[in-house]
A and B are shown apart, each in its own frame.
Chain A
C-alpha cells in the first residue's frame, strides 16, 4: 500500500520535472533550416554577459562572424577593410573612414550615424573596454557614409584598434537604455544569432543580406563546454564538428586528421618580482634565468604543442623573428654556492595558476631546476582570482604565467606598457627600469609600422636584459575539426574561427 502511493507521488513529481528540466534548445529554434549542413561547434568559454561586446564575450562575436568593426586584422597583423572600405589619416589625430554599403541583420542600413552611435556607446561603457583604456575617441558623421574619428593624443594604431571585437558596430536596436548591449539579430556579419540559451548554447542562422556574399554553412549550433576533456569527447563522439582548445592531455587521443595546430600569441613565462624579496638582486635573477633556460618544457609538459621560447613574442607574431635584437648587458648569474649563501633562510615563493592545466606542471619542473641552482622553493598553486591581489601586491617572488602578447588592440605595445613600464597597471614583475620605460615609450610614439615593430623588438631586448621575465614557451593551440569540415580559420589571435567559407563537405 504505502509503497504504491509513494511510488505514485514520486512519479507525479518526476513528470513535470523531467519535462522542463533539460537545457532549453530542443524546442525547434533552428529557424526552419533543418540540420542539413549546419555546423555544430563546441566552444570553451561560456558567454559571461549575454554576448555583450564590452565583456569577454566580444571575441565570440568575431569567432562566429556575427558582428564586425570598421576594420579587421589581416593575416600579417595589419588592419584590413571591413565595414569601412577605406580610410586615410588627415593629421596626427584625425582619420576619415569611408563606409561600405551594408545592412544590419535587422534590415536597417549601415550609416555614419550608426558608427558614431556604436563608438559612442563603447566609449561610455562602464567599465571601459580594454581597447579604449588608453585613448579618447570622438566620432563625427560627415555625411551618410563618411565618419571622422578624432583622438585626443596621436594614436598611430587606430585602424588596428578599430578591429577589436569590442568596437563592433551593431544596429541601433542593440543598445538598450540601461546601457546593456545585445548582439542578437543586430550584427552585420554573415551569421545572425537567433537564440541564446544562457551559458549553454546558441543557435545561429546564415544572414543572407551579408555584404560579402552568402556563407556556405546554413547555420551554426554552438554549445559551450568549459571542460577540455568533455570538449574533446564531444568531437570524438561525433557530437560536435568543431571543438576549440583541445587540452594537450587530450590532443594525442584525437585522430590525426582532426587535430589542427596553430601557434598562439600566448607566451608562458616565469616572472620574477624585481621590487621585493630576493629577486631585487639582479645576480639572483640571472641565476634563476640560467637555471630555467633550456628546460625542456615543450616536449614534456606541453606534449609537443608549444614552441621553445625565443623572446616575449613567438612565431605567432610574424614580424618578430626577423627583427629580434640580441640581448646584451645582462647581470652575471650567481653561482649555486652564492645563491645558497644569499638566500640563506629565505624561501622562493613560486606561484602558479590552475586556470591552465600546464602551468602547475611547468612550475613543478621549474621548482626542481631552481632547487638545483641553490634556491629553496615553495610552490603556491591556486586559482587565478584567489591570488591576483597578492600578485599585484608583490607577495610572491616568482610566477609562472600565461599572457596574451597581442592584446585586443592587436598591437604589442599595449602588452609591454601594461606589464613592464614603471607605472604599468599589470606590472607583476614590479619592474622600474628607466631604459625599459624609454624603449617602450619610443615604440608607442612610432607611427610607421615597420619602425614601430623594430622599436618593439628593441624594447623586448631591454626587458629581457633585466631578467624580470624569463620566457618559457610560446603556446600552440590545438583546434579539433572533424574530417568533413572545411574552411575553419586557424587564428593565432583566437579571434576568428568560422567565416563565410566554413562548411561541411
Chain B
C-alpha cells in the first residue's frame, strides 16, 4: 500500500486527471493560485464536516508545522486561506510571483499530507469554525438564504454551509472525509499571472502528484422542493427570502435584475436578488432585509407581484452588470410555486399564502 503511494510521487500519470487553467494577470508582480476541490463542499458528507475540514487545512504536516508554513509565507510575501462552498473546498494563495514553487508545494501538502491532529481540531479549527458560523448566521439575510437552501434541497445542497456544532466530529472523521474527497479527479487548479508550463511542472513535482486517483464523480441532479414556508422568530432585523430551484440560470439572471430594478430604493432596506449556480442545480432568490418589518413585508409582496407581471426580457444589460457576465435577452417562464423564508419579526411578515 505505502509502496504504491510513494511510487506515485514520481509518476506524472496521476496528474492527467488534475485540470489546469490560467487566467490573465491583474498585476505584474503578484500571482495567485486557486485550487478547487470538487465534491469536498458542504453538500458532501454529514452536516458541517466539510467546514471543519476547510478550517483544518494549512496546519501541521509531517514535514512542516503550521507555524513554519505561516512564517515562511510571510517572508516570501504571500498569504493563503481556505474557504468552503456547497460544491467545493477552495484553497487560495496570493503571493509575489517568485513564490510560485513554494505555494504550489504548500497547497499540495495541505491537501495530500495534512496531519489533522486532535489538538488542532480542539484549539484551532473547532473554535474558528464556530466563530465563522455565529458571525455568518447572525446576519438575518445569510440565515434566510441558508434556510432557503434547506427547504429547497432538504439534503445535499440543503445541508448547512458552516459547522453549527450540532454534531461533534473527531479527527478520524476529518481524515476519512479528506481521503474520500481529495482525489486528483476532483482537483482544478487556476493560476493567475503564472506561466502554465511552469505551473504544470511544479504541480507534477509537488504533493499534488501523491494524491490518490478515484473515479470521475458526475454531479447528479438533486431533487428539489417548492411550496414550503419557513419562519424563524428572532430579535433584530427582519428578512424575507423568496426563491426556488431553476433550470435555466441565465434566464433568471434577467428576473433577478428586473426585481432589483423595480424595488424601491430606500435607505433602510437591503434588497438583493441572485441566481446561485451549483453542480447539478441552480437556486434563484430575492431577499429583502430591513429593521422595519412593515417595510420588509411591503417589498416582498411587491416583488411577488412583479414576479408574475413584469416583462423580464428587457433587463439584459442590467443583468449582465449584476451577474458580471454577458446575459442575453430571452423570455422567461416563471414557475407558479415558490418557497418563502422569514427571519425576524414573523408576526408582522406576510404568510406565503398572502403573496
Physical interaction between A and B: no
Q: Which residue numbers of A lie inside 8 Å of B, CB to CB?
A: none
